[in-house]
């Protein structure tokens, strides 16, 4: 009998913060008062916030117990499609916590902050090399923020040519952030369908591309895990009408050292450092979404930009055509340090190898599960593969039931019900940091679940059973929102 | 490479199962003319030791305490972070998990964010808070966009004493829209001059920051009244939430949206990011709020649990009609703030705020005694504006050599304020550091 990682164990209950503690406790060593108390304008003064008073032990136990209710990459395989949940190296955490970085005020004079400026300058160069673009800005704080930066660049480019545009082409397989980011810039998204091979057809693009259209937002590899094979031709169609091509680089983990984004006609691309470049996701951020551009868009990049002058690094705002500032300071520097640490640890060869192994793992899962789960598209996949619950529908078992059961086996579920073009989608992205043994165990789990779907459907519908909480009533949560205590 | 677990045997076995010969053969769908011809030009991979040495070299060039005495605030504050906060924040289960899409195995993050929303709402005196924005700047930009959506008006009045960088971000967000930003000047007392609002119509929001960029406490009662008289929303920003440990919060002045920067609450400065966008509003606007929200519910056995909720506002459901494009937010920073607020506690927060206030008052006192002019009379929190004599720039540079950063020169943000400096002191600055600063300035 195979031993799956999922099991039960003693998990401890823990109330909400304000349901414990007692007035008069503290978990903080208040600094010595070495100045006298000064009068204060009483009309402004309040009683202070209604926070609980807790001891340090109260706080530690509270959060340790909470942490044990979470699944994480450090505890097991997390094949969440489109999210690139690769291992987050611990050396990155060591580097970011160095006092010179952690304690640095963002408005230090440049000559007193050379180290971090140099790091940012070099990281830009690395990202430019990896993508094959010409210049980069590290300022966007997340992928969607990078998309917004990209759309602002589109807007600024056409405005500089005296002809702002009103529409943008977005494929039906795009992340929801794409149309939302475009809409923030006043663009009307025009949806384009992918073809029967799961990719974009040049003739479909050419039918809707016109002089009112700012360009196209393409995710490549796309959210079906397929490479957009016609990208060069599509870029030519868009460029012929003076449109621009945006690439959502969320899936860059498949093609590092393999595809040259600049050469295939991409004008702007954002990267997710918290995906491809190993910085942890933190339960929902912080991330970082640098944008890389070709030469003709460089003048519009956000300010300030890190420049090098006579061997010194400086922050310069002297870019009159810039779209302006996107972040209070320079972006999520802590995440940038982690990405820099990762790139230097990996080097060129290992980055390329990481992409190859990410694709190897996905292709292997696809091969091993294609007789068990329905495969949406038969073409060779890149870093992720997309199945659906079509084969299980006869047993009245859904994607949701299957992935909830997967938790009991000790795996985090894949991304589900996305992309929207595949009903009941199960999108699996193993990443390169999973070993063959763990992947085999994952495959066996999925097969075991498919068997249970035939023989013991109740097991799936009632899953998960090993987790601290079982299925939660999301409808009730939305109908009568309780958002605070 | 230690992060890549595949042995050559594993690779062969997997390639064979797939039915291809080599790793290169895994990419048949990438056309040849889309492929990179040369290798990446990155430096050779470093060992972990070499990397440590390299990073230490970079990090050692930075001017940080205790070697330097840094009297800079302006949206990034030096507050003591307890060891327990940093320790808890390094837990893998929090750090290496994704956005909690699968609630059954993400209850840790979900309860922690529910608690963050609660503590934030209580601190700001608001009904509901979201799970976080990127930073103070994007928070206030999104707040103004939200006000435009709610009121369907296209004009926003923005105080000139909102952090200048935040105002630049607002401009960036508003550039492609047809909305107009109207700047409100400041008074001699160092607070926003609201009189201009009387002549404005079709207003979506009146936005001020308190404490403002000069450290002064705004008249939030008047800004809310002016806004509401014009059927606009009262938006209150902040860069220093610790101030609400002793000063009345935005909610007590009927603010519609309170939003700002939460870096002060247990987050290292790290050259300005990642920080924490805090965002709270009145209950009636909850369906217009940007970003994620965690709500309480029950599982099939009736036990209390938490889920992401009201997702129909968000981009993955609503796409181009979403209230924002935000997806990844700053969850781990929100967790840091929550642990910090829980550790300091209600009583501690009030005491800590008062200590910050008193240290700043002490500095004011010393500066006045040394004969310098403090041009703005309004009450402040832990920052102040001082006018130094003409030519102080030379002294400032000399002080840098003595490892003292004597505040932020204001002239590049406010051209009318030549020789004016924004100084900041928090609880981490000892009395003798303040005395040294004043002594060095005088000599």
CB B406 within 8 A of CB B437: yes
Give, to the nearest 10 degrees, the angle between helix B431-442 and helix B331-369.
Answer: 50
User: Are residues B175 and B90 both part of a single domain?
Assistant: yes
**Cis amide leading into A242 (omega within 30):** no
Assess if residue B37 is contained within a domain.
no
B296 interface with A at CB cutoff 8 Å: yes
3-state SS assignment for residue B73 = coil
B107 interface with A at CB cutoff 8 Å: yes
User: Are residues B274 and B385 both part of a single domain?
Assistant: no
Subunit contact A35:B39, Cβ cutoff 8 A: no
Subunit contact B343:A59, Cβ cutoff 8 A: yes
Chain B residues 9-48 with CB within 8 Å of chain A: 10-11, 13-15, 17-19, 23-24, 26-31, 33-37, 39-46, 48
Other CB atoms within 10 Å distance of the CB of residue A466: 17
d(CA B211, CA B191): 9
Of B340, B361, B377, which residue sits at a domain end?
B340
CB B185 within 8 A of CB B162: no
- Is this prediction's ipTM beyond 0.85? yes
User: Are residues B291 and B349 both part of a single domain?
Assistant: no
User: Are residues B74 and B91 both part of a single domain?
Assistant: no
Domain enclosing residue B137, as ranges: 83-340
Which one, of A256, A260, A250, A221, lies nearest residue A380 by Cα?
A: A221
Tell me how far the alpha carbon of residue A240 is from its chain's centroid: 32
CB A260 within 8 A of CB A269: no
In chain A, what are the domain boundaries? Answer: 92-345
* Assigned token pair, A290: 């640098």
> Using one digit for the tens of pLDDT, what is the confidence trace for A215-253?
999 999 999 999 999 999 999 999 999 999 999 999 999
Subunit contact B346:A103, Cβ cutoff 8 A: no
User: Are residues B357 and B332 both part of a single domain?
Assistant: no
CATH of segment(s) A92-345: 3.40.640.10
User: Are residues B414 and B313 both part of a single domain?
Assistant: no
Assess if residue B29 is contained within a domain.
no
Subunit contact B59:A364, Cβ cutoff 8 A: no
> Using one digit for the tens of pLDDT, what is the confidence trace for B233-292?
999 999 999 999 999 999 999 999 999 999 999 999 999 999 999 999 999 999 999 999
* Assigned token pair, A98: 């160095």
Confidence (pTM):
0.98
Chain B residues 211-230 with CB within 8 Å of chain A: 217
B415 interface with A at CB cutoff 8 Å: no
Mean pLDDT of chain A: 97
User: Are residues B147 and B160 both part of a single domain?
Assistant: yes
User: Are residues B226 and B369 both part of a single domain?
Assistant: no
B89: domain CATH number? Answer: 3.40.640.10
What pLDDT score does B315 carry?
85
Using a pLDDT cut of 90, give the percent of chain B over it: 97
C-alpha distance across the termini of chain A, in Å: 46
A329 interface with B at CB cutoff 8 Å: yes
User: Are residues B321 and B362 both part of a single domain?
Assistant: no
User: Are residues B94 and B196 both part of a single domain?
Assistant: yes
B115 vs A contacts (CB less than 8 Å): 16-17, 485
Lowest mean pLDDT among A1-5, A257-261, A355-359, B219-223: A1-5
Of B320, B340, B360, which residue sits at a domain end?
B340
Q: Which residue of A has its CA nearest to B103?
A: A472
> Ramachandran region of residue A208, left (φ > 0), alpha (ψ -120 to 50) or beta?
alpha
- pLDDT class of A1 with cuts at 50, 70, 90: low
CA-angle at B410, arms to B357 and B141, nearest 5°:
80
Assess if residue B128 is contained within a domain.
yes
Subunit contact B61:A114, Cβ cutoff 8 A: yes
Subunit contact A328:B75, Cβ cutoff 8 A: yes
B273 interface with A at CB cutoff 8 Å: yes
Number of domains in chain B: 2
User: Are residues B286 and B378 both part of a single domain?
Assistant: no
B418: domain CATH number? Answer: 3.90.1150.10
The single residue listed with the structure tokens 């601290």 is A468
> Using one digit for the tens of pLDDT, what is the confidence trace for B136-154?
999 999 999 999 999 999 9
Subunit contact A285:B309, Cβ cutoff 8 A: no
CB B354 within 8 A of CB B360: no
Report H helices in B60-104: 83-89, 92-95
User: Are residues B322 and B175 both part of a single domain?
Assistant: yes
Other CB atoms within 10 Å distance of the CB of residue A140: 28
A101 vs B contacts (CB less than 8 Å): 58-59, 62, 270-271
Query: Hey, of B2, B345, B353, B380, which one would you mutate to test binding to chain A, going by the most A CBs within 10 A of its CB?
Result: B345
Report H helices in A48-89: 56-67
B51 interface with A at CB cutoff 8 Å: yes
Of B340, B357, B380, which residue sits at a domain end?
B340
B240 interface with A at CB cutoff 8 Å: no
Report H helices in A187-294: 202-208, 231-240
A360 interface with B at CB cutoff 8 Å: yes
| B277-281 and B257-261 strand pairing | antiparallel
> Using one digit for the tens of pLDDT, what is the confidence trace for A144-155?
999 999 999 999
Q: Phi, psi (5° rounding) for residue B384? A: -155, 155
Residues B400-408: what's their mean pLDDT? 98
Subunit contact B344:A144, Cβ cutoff 8 A: no
A171 interface with B at CB cutoff 8 Å: no
> Using one digit for the tens of pLDDT, what is the confidence trace for B207-228?
999 999 999 999 999 999 999 9
């Amino acid at each position: 009998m195979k031993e799956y990682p999922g099991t039960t164990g003693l998990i401890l209950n823990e109330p909400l913060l304000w349901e414990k503690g007692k007035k008069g406790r503290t978990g903080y060593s208040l600094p010595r008062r070495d100045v006298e108390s000064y009068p204060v304008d009483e009309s402004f003064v309040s009683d202070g916030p209604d926070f609980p008073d807790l001891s340090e032990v109260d706080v530690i136990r509270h959060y340790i117990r909470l942490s044990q209710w979470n699944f994480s990459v450090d505890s097991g395989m997390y094949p969440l499609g489109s999210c690139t949940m690769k291992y987050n190296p611990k050396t990155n955490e060591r580097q970011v916590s160095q006092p010179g970085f952690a304690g640095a005020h963002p408005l230090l004079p440049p000559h007193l902050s050379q180290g971090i400026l140099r790091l940012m300058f070099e990281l830009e160069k690395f990202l430019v090399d990896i993508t094959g673009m010409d210049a980069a800005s590290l300022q966007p704080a997340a992928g969607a923020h990078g998309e917004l930066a990209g759309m602002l660049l589109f807007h600024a480019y056409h405005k500089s040519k005296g002809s702002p545009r009103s529409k943008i082409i977005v494929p039906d397989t795009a992340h929801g952030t794409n149309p939302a980011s475009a809409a923030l810039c006043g663009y009307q998204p025009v949806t384009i369908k992918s073809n029967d091979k799961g990719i974009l057809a040049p003739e479909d693009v050419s039918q809707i591309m016109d002089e009112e259209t700012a360009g196209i937002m393409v995710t490549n590899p796309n959210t079906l895990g397929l490479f957009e094979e016609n990208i060069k031709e599509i870029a030519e169609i868009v460029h012929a009408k003076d449109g621009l091509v945006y690439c959502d680089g969320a899936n860059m983990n498949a093609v590092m050292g393999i595809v040259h984004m600049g050469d295939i006609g991409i004008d702007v691309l954002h990267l997710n450092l918290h995906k491809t470049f190993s910085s942890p996701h933190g339960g929902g951020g912080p991330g970082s979404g640098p944008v890389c551009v070709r030469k003709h868009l460089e003048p519009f990049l956000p300010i300030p930009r890190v420049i090098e002058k006579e061997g010194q690094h400086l922050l310069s705002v002297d870019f009159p055509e810039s779209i302006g500032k996107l972040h209070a300071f320079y972006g999520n520097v802590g995440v940038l340090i982690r990405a820099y640490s990762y790139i230097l640890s990996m080097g060129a060869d290992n980055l390329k190898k990481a992409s190859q192994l990410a694709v190897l793992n996905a292709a292997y899962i696809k091969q091993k599960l294609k007789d068990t789960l329905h495969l949406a598209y038969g073409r060779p996949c890149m870093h992720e593969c997309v199945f659906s619950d079509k084969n299980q529908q006869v047993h009245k078992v859904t994607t949701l039931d299957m992935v909830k059961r997967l938790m009991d086996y000790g795996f985090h579920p894949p991304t589900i019900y996305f992309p929207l073009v595949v009903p009941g989608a199960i999108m699996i992205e193993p990443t390169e940091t999973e070993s063959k043994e763990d992947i085999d165990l994952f495959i066996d789990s999925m097969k075991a679940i498919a068997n249970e779907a035939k023989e013991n459907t109740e097991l799936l519908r009632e899953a998960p059973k090993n987790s601290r909480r079982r299925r939660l009533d999301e409808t009730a949560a939305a109908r009568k929102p309780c958002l605070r205590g | 490479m230690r992060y890549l677990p595949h042995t050559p045997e594993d690779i062969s076995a997997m390639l064979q199962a797939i039915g291809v010969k080599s790793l290169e053969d895994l990419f048949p769908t990438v056309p040849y003319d889309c492929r990179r011809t040369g290798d990446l030009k990155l430096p050779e991979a470093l060992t972990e030791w070499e990397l440590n040495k390299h990073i230490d070299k970079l990090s050692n060039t930075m001017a940080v305490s205790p070697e330097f005495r840094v009297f800079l605030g302006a949206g990034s504050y030096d507050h003591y972070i307890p060891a327990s906060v940093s320790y808890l924040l390094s837990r893998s289960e929090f750090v290496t998990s994704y956005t909690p899409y699968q609630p059954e195995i993400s209850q840790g993050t979900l309860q922690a964010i529910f608690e963050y929303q609660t503590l934030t709402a209580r601190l700001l005196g608001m009904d509901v808070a979201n799970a976080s924005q990127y930073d103070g700047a994007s928070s206030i930009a999104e707040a103004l966009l939200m006000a435009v959506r709610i009121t369907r008006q296209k004009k926003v009045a923005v105080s000139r004493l909102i952090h200048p960088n935040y105002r630049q971000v607002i401009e960036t967000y508003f550039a492609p829209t047809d909305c107009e930003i109207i700047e409100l000047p400041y008074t001699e007392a160092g607070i926003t001059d609201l009189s201009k609002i009387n002549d404005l119509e079709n207003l979506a929001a009146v936005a001020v920051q308190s404490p403002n960029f000069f450290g002064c406490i705004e008249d939030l009662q008047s800004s809310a009244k002016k806004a509401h008289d014009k059927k606009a929303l009262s938006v209150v920003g902040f860069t220093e939430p610790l101030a609400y440990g002793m000063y009345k919060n935005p909610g007590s002045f009927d603010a519609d949206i309170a939003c700002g920067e939460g870096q002060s609450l247990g987050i290292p400065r790290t050259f300005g990011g990642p920080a924490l966008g805090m965002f709270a509003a009145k209950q009636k606007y909850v369906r217009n709020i940007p970003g994620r929200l965690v709500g309480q519910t029950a599982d099939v056995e009736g036990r209390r649990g938490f889920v992401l909720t009201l997702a129909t506002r968000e981009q993955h459901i609503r796409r181009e009609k979403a209230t924002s494009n935000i997806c990844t937010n700053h969850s781990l920073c929100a967790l840091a703030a929550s642990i910090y607020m829980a550790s300091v506690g209600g009583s501690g927060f009030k005491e800590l705020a008062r200590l910050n206030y008193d240290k700043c008052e002490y500095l004011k006192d010393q500066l006045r005694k040394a004969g310098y002019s403090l041009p703005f009379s309004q009450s402040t929190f832990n920052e102040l504006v001082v006018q130094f004599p003409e030519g102080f720039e030379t002294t400032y540079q000399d002080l840098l050599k003595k490892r003292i950063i004597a505040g932020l020169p204001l002239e590049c943000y406010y051209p009318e304020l030549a020789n004016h400096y924004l100084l900041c002191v928090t609880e981490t600055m000892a009395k003798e550091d303040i005395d040294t600063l004043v002594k060095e300035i005088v000599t």
